Amino acid sequence: MKKIIATKKTPPKILGYNDKITVGNLTYTVQSRLGAGTFGNVYRCIPQNPTDQAGIIDQVAIKVSQDDPLHLSVARKEGTLLSQLKHPHIIHYIDKDPTGRFLVLELCSQTLNTKIKQSYPGLDPAIAQRVYQHLLSALVYLTKKNIVHRDIKPENILEKQIPKSPTLESLWKLADFGTAAKNPGKATCRVSTLTFSAPETLIHIDNAYTHSYPSDLFSLGVVMYETVTGKPLLNRLEDHLTDSKNSELLRITLTGTQPGSPLKHYILIKSPLKPYIEQALAIDPAQRPSAASLLEEVSKTGRSLQG
Ligand SMILES: Nc1ncnc2c1ncn2[C@@H]1O[C@H](COP(=O)(O)OP(=O)(O)O)[C@@H](O)[C@H]1O
Ligand SMILES: [Mg+2]
């Protein structure tokens, strides 16, 4: 739930099949709507002339921002930030228009959220291990670039099938940099989604919230909990709770002091990733390992899973 205060505007127009979007000197034709979020809509599009400037890219995703100054400024910031990043596990930026209205991205097939829903009770251990490894490697890269994502959750993690992969393996990519920030520090409002938030980001001290690299790691731990168990750590309905109530619920859940808490369910799960998920979910951010050291451990698990 992002804290973007909506201005009173007419709802964004939804584009339909065959509508055109022009970015720079390329015109794209809308095929279908891929998703909707706080910002607007994302569409699957094909360049009108796929053989020119777009090279071999025959399909793209275009994120269309709502057309008001607040959303456009956030979208411009997202485009600028993404254009500076290049990593196999971060959504690949292709183009943007100067107003911020359109952001052209590589096309992915589905979100981790959809994959989890199709795979109850939890993803196959080898796939879950790849998800964790890929996302940790994205976090290591972001840490080096001094960037915090601040909204890591299954809807913002995308699957990209590797073309012609004999094993049907895919790449997992971190997307939605709308709330990402350079040089983490204090923020005046909490931006992350409540049920994925690290406890320290729920505490408002000196009129500010702190969200740093360990907070992103905690959110990834929450994502991985859901990935291996098929169940959310905290019920999404809790997103309406206040920060302090959520913080208390998190503490109870993670310390397992309440009968029937999700952690008890999790303890029963025989996942080789269990210890590494628990490390990311440490309540005290100082107790969480760095993304780099966790990546090393999780990569070793991958080698043993492959036999
Ligand atoms: N590159 C992409 N390829 C495929 N689907 C995407 C892509 N980018 C976004 N989507 C879909 O659109 C949804 C919203 O996009 P997102 O960037 O998360 O916007 P918001 O900031 O509004 O949450 C995602 O959850 C996903 O379903
Ligand atoms: Mg999103």
pLDDT tens column, 237-247:
777 788 888 88
Instruction: For residues 113-142, give the mean pLDDT.
Output: 96
Please tell me the pTM assigned to this model. Answer: 0.92
Residue ranges of domains in the chain, CATH in brackets: 3-106 (1.10.510.10), 110-306 (1.10.510.10)
Ligand nearest to the CA of 111: 1
What's the pLDDT band for 306 if we cut at 50, 70, 90?
A: low
Instruction: Please compute Rg for the chain using Cα positions.
Output: 20
Strand spans (E) along the chain: 20-23, 26-36, 40-47, 60-65, 93-96, 102-106, 110-111, 147-148, 157-161, 170-174, 181-182, 186-187, 209-210
Handedness of CA 243, 244, 245, 246 (dihedral sign): positive
Question: How many angstroms is it from 255 CA to the middle of ligand 1?
Answer: 33
Q: Which ligand is nearest to the CA of 35?
A: 1
The pLDDT assigned to 2 comes to 47
Closest to 290 in 3D by CA, of 202, 218, 227: 218
Mean pLDDT for the stretch of residues 166-175: 90
Show the ligand 1 pocket: residues with CB < 6 angstroms.
34-35, 37-39, 42, 61, 63, 91, 105-108, 111, 155-156, 158, 175-176, 178
Rounded-to-integer distance, Cα 100 and Cα 62, Å: 12
> Which residues neighbour 240 within 8 Å (Cβ) at sequence distance 6 or greater?
none
Query: Given ligand 1 and candidates 42, 81, 191, which is best to mutate, with the most ligand atoms within 8 Å of its CB?
Result: 42
Write down the mean pLDDT value for the chain.
87
Q: How far is the CA of 301 from the centre of ligand 1 (A)?
A: 30
Q: How confident is the model at residue 202 (pLDDT cuts 50, 70, 90)?
A: confident
54-78 as b/e, with b when 16 or more CB fall inside 10 Å?
A: beeeeebbbbbbbbeeebbebbbbb
Q: What is the number of the ligand closest to the CA of 42?
A: 1
Tens of pLDDT, residues 246-283: 888 888 888 776 666 667 666 667 889 999 999 999 98
Q: Which protein residue has the closest C-alpha to ligand 1 atom 27?
A: 35
Measured CA to CA, the distance from residue 88 to residue 141 in angstroms comes to 10
**Residue 1 pLDDT greater than 50, yes or no:** no
- Which of 4-13, 189-198, 233-242, 255-264 comes out lowest in average pLDDT? 4-13
Interatomic CA distance for residues 57 and 46, integer angstroms: 9
**pLDDT tens, residue by residue, 23-62:** 998 999 999 999 987 788 999 999 987 555 555 558 999 9
Q: Is the pLDDT of residue 7 over 70?
A: no
pLDDT digits 0-9 by tens, 53-101: 555 558 999 999 999 999 999 999 999 999 999 999 999 999 999 999 9
Q: Which uninterrupted H or E stretch holds 281?
A: none
pLDDT of residue 137: 98
